[in-house]
């Protein structure tokens, strides 16, 4: 496989007529032009189209803009057999349809334990109690009058890729890796709010509690709370979406999604961790020896190639763009390596766009495809020097009992037809 040459770049374009195409091919030594490419007028060029003839919708006909009707396939999806009820379930981000590093708000995966709470912000309260000097209650207006910050962070559910622990299972990066999103949050630093209440010296842990019907709560160590956590009321420049915890959610950068409590209504300061249901029966990692890992908060470095992938087959030979995401809960992404031949040769991917702390980064490999079978993998390295492990390396240490924290390297087999499949290299 060669890197993209200037001849390839020329061949990507469609020339005005097939004569031109043949000419360019001859000069540049490109693939031969087939008979059915013979000169044939293209009505899309020669005929006037409807959109060119008639007036379109006027302004304000679409008071809240929606994607083009030709993008209807770009949606969150669920897997019906995965959970018993849609109120306690998950829908997945269509990673293969995205670009850049920001997830559009309407495409952010959702994980609810008791459905979406619909809360009027005028009726929402945030209470701070426990080991504080001044127990306080904040309205949303109170929070909006405190010093405000904007930060881009990824949120990954600890169960992302959880179905893949025992072997390749779901056919599409939307399902294998789609329990992640990355948006810009607006809100206040958690520290600002805690300073106002005044933490007592023996306050070592916080308990965050949601206002939804699950009353979900989690324990958060005070060092993390004072470091980079936020209380967010905004995402991507507007209010949080109901699915994401409107009107207020916790942002716990780099840590498993479960602790990012949505519809946040209470923070209690205490001197030890609570043993909430989420922390004892779920969100613990059962090891092969019967012991369990507890409080495995951090999401380790991980990456996935989103294009090509089972939902996004290759359609053209010649120049192609391989695209993917990488992230690390311990800092920023330093490097991403990609192999097209099952690990025999690795090349360093081109990271493009912002490289931010605990945020998704976008990577590309511009490559040439002559129709050969490929085994595609990506491997992320983060700012701590940690390198994303293979799934087998992970299984050796953790066994296969847990569904959580699977950050192993993903393999896509791309067949000669361009179709891709979720596989593992034995």
Ligand X SMILES: Nc1nc2c(c(=O)[nH]1)N[C@H]1C(S)=C(S)[C@@H](COP(=O)(O)O)O[C@H]1N2
Judged by beta carbon, residue 33 or residue 114, the one nearer ligand X is 114
Distances (CA, A) of 6 to 3, 10, 83, 312: 10, 6, 50, 26
Among 406, 329, 400, 321, CA closest to 367: 321
Judged by beta carbon, residue 179 or residue 349, the one nearer Mo ion is 179
Strands 302-307 and 350-352: unpaired
Q: What is the dihedral of CA 273, 277, 281, 285, to 10 degrees?
A: -40
Sign of torsion over alpha carbons 131, 132, 134, 139: negative
214 contact, one of Mo ion, ligand X, none, CB 5-8 Å limit per kind: ligand X
299 contact, one of ligand X, Mo ion, none, CB 5-8 Å limit per kind: none
260 binds ligand X (CB under 6 A): yes
Structural element, H or E, at residue 420:
strand 420-423
Q: According to CB under 6 A, which one of 96, 112, 334, 405 is a site residue for ligand X?
A: 112
Smallest gap from Cβ 245 to Mo ion, in A, equals: 13
Instruction: State whether residue 169 is helix, strand or coil.
Output: coil
**208 and 220 Cβ atoms separated by less than 8 Å:** yes
Residue 146 to residue 192: CA distance in whole angstroms: 8
111 binds ligand X (CB under 6 A): yes
Tokens of 45: 């060029």
Smallest gap from Cβ 117 to ligand X, in A, equals: 7
Q: According to CB under 5 A, which one of 186, 258, 402, 411 is a site residue for Mo ion?
A: 258
Q: Which of residues 154-183 bind ligand X (CB under 6 A)?
A: 155, 157, 181
Cα 288 from chain centroid (whole Å)? 29
Distances (CA, A) of 76 to 32, 51, 111, 301: 41, 29, 12, 24
92 binds ligand X (CB under 6 A): no
φ, ψ of residue 270 in degrees (nearest 5): -140, 180
Judged by beta carbon, residue 240 or residue 314, the one nearer ligand X is 240
Judged by beta carbon, residue 205 or residue 412, the one nearer ligand X is 205
Q: Which of residues 116-175 bind Mo ion (CB under 5 A)?
A: 157
**418 and 308 Cβ atoms separated by less than 8 Å:** yes
Binding residues for Mo ion, rule CB under 5 A, total 4
380 contact, one of Mo ion, ligand X, none, CB 5-8 Å limit per kind: none
113 binds ligand X (CB under 6 A): yes
Q: Which of residues 172-231 bind ligand X (CB under 6 A)?
A: 181, 210, 212, 214, 216
Smallest gap from Cβ 343 to ligand X, in A, equals: 31
Smallest gap from Cβ 112 to ligand X, in A, equals: 5
Strands 302-307 and 230-235: unpaired
Judged by beta carbon, residue 212 or residue 268, the one nearer ligand X is 212
Q: Show the binding pattern over residues 319-348: x = contacts ligand X (CB under 6 A), - = does not.
A: ------------------------------
152 binds ligand X (CB under 6 A): no
Q: In what order do the strands lie in the sheet with 318-327?
A: 302-307, 318-327, 361-369, 350-352
Contact residues for Mo ion, defined by CB under 5 A? 111, 157, 257-258
Q: By the criterion CB under 6 A, which residues form the site for ligand X?
A: 108-113, 155, 157, 181, 210, 212, 214, 216, 243-244, 257-258, 260-263
């Amino acid at each position: 496989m060669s890197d993209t040459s200037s001849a390839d770049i020329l061949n990507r374009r469609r020339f005005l007529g097939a004569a031109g195409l043949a000419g360019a091919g001859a000069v540049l030594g490109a693939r031969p032009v087939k008979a059915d490419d013979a000169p044939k007028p293209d009505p899309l060029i020669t005929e006037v189209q409807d959109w060119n003839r008639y007036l379109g919708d006027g302004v304000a006909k679409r008071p809240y803009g929606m994607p083009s009707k030709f993008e209807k396939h770009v949606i969150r999806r669920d897997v019906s057999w995965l959970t018993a009820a849609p109120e306690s379930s998950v829908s997945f981000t269509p990673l293969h349809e995205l670009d850049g590093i920001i997830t559009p708000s309407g495409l952010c995966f959702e994980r609810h334990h008791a459905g979406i709470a619909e809360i009027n912000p005028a009726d929402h309260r945030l209470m701070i109690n426990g080991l504080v000097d001044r127990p306080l209650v904040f309205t949303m207006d109170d929070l909006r009058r405190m010093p405000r910050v904007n930060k881009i962070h990824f949120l990954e559910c600890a169960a992302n890729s959880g179905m893949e622990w025992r072997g390749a299972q779901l056919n599409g990066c939307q399902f294998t890796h789609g329990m992640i999103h990355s948006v810009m949050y607006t809100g206040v630093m958690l520290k600002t709010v805690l300073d106002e209440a005044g933490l007592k010296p023996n306050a070592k842990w916080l308990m965050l509690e949601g206002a939804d019907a699950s009353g979900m709560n989690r324990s958060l160590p005070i060092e993390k709370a004072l470091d980079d956590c936020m209380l967010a009321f905004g995402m991507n420049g507007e209010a949080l979406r109901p699915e994401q915890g409107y009107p207020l959610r916790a942002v716990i950068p780099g840590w498993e999604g479960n602790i990012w409590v949505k519809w946040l209504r209470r923070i209690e300061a205490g001197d030890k961790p609570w043993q909430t249901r989420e922390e004892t029966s779920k969100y613990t990692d059962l090891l092969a020896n019967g012991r369990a890992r507890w409080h495995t908060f951090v999401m380790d470095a991980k990456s996935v190639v989103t294009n090509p992938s089972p939902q996004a087959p290759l359609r053209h030979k010649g120049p192609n763009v391989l695209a993917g995401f990488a992230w690390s809960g311990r800092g920023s992404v330093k490097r991403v390596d990609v192999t097209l031949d099952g690990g025999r040769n690795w090349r360093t991917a081109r990271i493009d766009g912002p490289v931010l702390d605990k945020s998704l980064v976008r990577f590309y490999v511009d490559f040439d495809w002559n129709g050969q079978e490929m085994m595609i993998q990506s491997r992320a390295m983060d700012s701590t020097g940690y390198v994303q492990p293979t799934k087998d390396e992970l299984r050796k240490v953790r066994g296969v009992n847990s569904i959580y924290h699977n950050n192993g390297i993903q393999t896509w087999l791309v067949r000669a037809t361009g179709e891709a499949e979720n596989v593992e290299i034995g």
